[in-house]
Amino acid sequence: MDYKERYQQWLDSGDIDAASKDELRAIAGDEKEIQDRFYTELEFGTAGLRGVIGAGTNRMNEYTVRKATQGLANYILKVGGSSRGVAIAYDSRHMSPEFADVAALCLAANGIKAYVFESLRPTPELSYAVRRLGAIAGINITASHNPPEYNGYKVYWEDGAQITPPHDGGIMEEVKKITDYAVCKKMDKAEAEAKGLYRVIGADIDDPYIAELKKLVVHQDAIDAVGKDLKVVYSPLHGTGNIPVRRVLKELGFTQVYVVPEQEKPDGDFPTVSYPNPEAAEAFALGLALAKEVDADLVLATDPDADRLGVYVKDGSMGEYHCLTGNMSGCLIGDYLIGQKKEREGLPSDGAFIRSIVSTNMADAIAGYYGIELVEVLTGFKFIGQKILEFEKTGKGTYLFGMEESYGCLPGTYARDKDAVAATMALCEAAAYYKTKGMTLWDAMIGMYERYGYYKDSILSVTLKGMEGIAKIGAVMQALRQKPPEKIGAYRVTAVRDYQKDTITETASGEVRPTGLPASNVLYYELTDDAWVCVRPSGTEPKIKFYFGIRGASLEDADAKEEEMRGAVDALVQELL
């Protein structure tokens, strides 16, 4: 069946609601739009669903959400987990509450209890809720930092991490088996509530979640000493972070927290930014203006589902605000927590710092300095969660900290996804601790550079939408596999990692060894002078991403080398495209 036939099928179907049909009739003369909506099914991948909201098989709507949930329900029934229930959270995006109920009532119709948050909650709290409730799975309705027209559907398993093998494959298989939306079950909400299959949750999860975060505090003495003096500007970027972030900071003793008023309230249109990403400079325009008014020590912003944290810190000597990348803030938090743990109680002999393969090599230097293991995992925080579970099951390995370059980290094991609420708390605590030493967070960052090396890491993303874009991304990866570069800029390629083939090939000797990680469509080039480049298609956006990192001898040298590397990577991209 081609896209035109699918389009007509939706118009003729008695199972599709009138509003969706009206939406589809409105595009009757737009061949390209019809094709984009119906040329494929919105794919249920290893991260769940993510797409533009609207009518069509390639869109986020009640039918694609219900289909995904029916597949999940079938898998839960198959593995005998129906009695344990599923926790469901959602963010501030358009249709998030509605999609949460669609999922909950599909589960209920399959005899599986749904625990649904009373209102929007952060992603990490959903991860915590799965574990707290002893649920078999979790669903989070969110598209993270994507533009306003998007929404998504993430699935978590009983350990609180997003699904990994074998469960991801098992659930995907069940979803693919469903070829008719009519077989997807649904139930009236009142009936589900009456049967005890729809339960609202809220403070019963909020309170213990916040309590778990507060257990991570190392230096309450420092907060007691200077918390009232530390000035923090914070923006939830119209998302879920506002209440939990303000609550935990207040309860710890940070009294001067200034919330950016224009970005405080939940709003799925994200009216103050083109897209709500704390990695983007525009997200901080209002926060930095407020910071200058109140003379803030640091400026923080969380993305809509509050799993990513963006940071600016003030340079005490210059009075300027410096942006910290996710690599910088992650290493700053990790170095602080690991260093303080070593000083106060010592480190376990099997302690581990976990990072994704596209994160900074500074993490390796930190692990080496403290004599702990550096563990690499594939991109996606679920793989860090998977490693924590492995540590618990085998009794080998003690999790100390985990991070990925995309502005996410986790300072404890109470949850199994990155947590910007906890990261905000940890960074504010670190700021208070360093303040008692007469230092700013920027001073601490410079101290890390001097100790470990001036690492600088960045990313170049290329957006390629639609069918043509998917084909082009595939062609780029194929071209790189057929003819790997011998040099990138001034750096010679010393080894090529192909995670799809599970090979690491030394360029000088030709020696080949396994990566030791699951198969993934990723290419990684180890370069001279501790530099590197990694290429991977995004799993959540129509992009191909080129990550890279260098090490300099000073800030100025690192800046210059980063610019040179960016130019070299850009030249490679132009050659490939």
Residues carrying an active site annotation: 144
Cα three-residue angle 401-404-408, rounded to 5 degrees = 80
176-181 contacts, C-beta under 8 A, 24 or more apart: 176/44, 176/71, 177/71, 177/74, 178/67, 178/70, 178/71, 181/13, 181/15, 181/63, 181/66, 181/67
User: Do residues 106 and 135 make contact, with C-beta atoms less than 8 angstroms apart?
Assistant: no
Q: Residue 119: which residues within 8 A CB-CB, separation 6 or more?
A: 202
Say how many C-beta atoms besides its own lie within 10 A of residue 115's C-beta.
23
Q: Which residues of 65-104 are buried (b: 16+ CB within 10 A; e: fewer)?
A: bbbbbbbbbbbbeeeebbebbbbbbbbbbbbbbebbbbbb
**How far is C-alpha 73 from the chain's CA centre?**
25
For strands 150-157 and 86-90, give the pairing.
Answer: unpaired
CA dist list (Å): 78 to 72, 167, 411 = 10, 11, 34
User: Do residues 536 and 378 make contact, with C-beta atoms less than 8 angstroms apart?
Assistant: no
Cα three-residue angle 561-488-332, rounded to 5 degrees = 45
- Which is it for the CA torsion 218, 219, 224, 230, positive or negative? negative
User: Do residues 551 and 361 make contact, with C-beta atoms less than 8 angstroms apart?
Assistant: yes
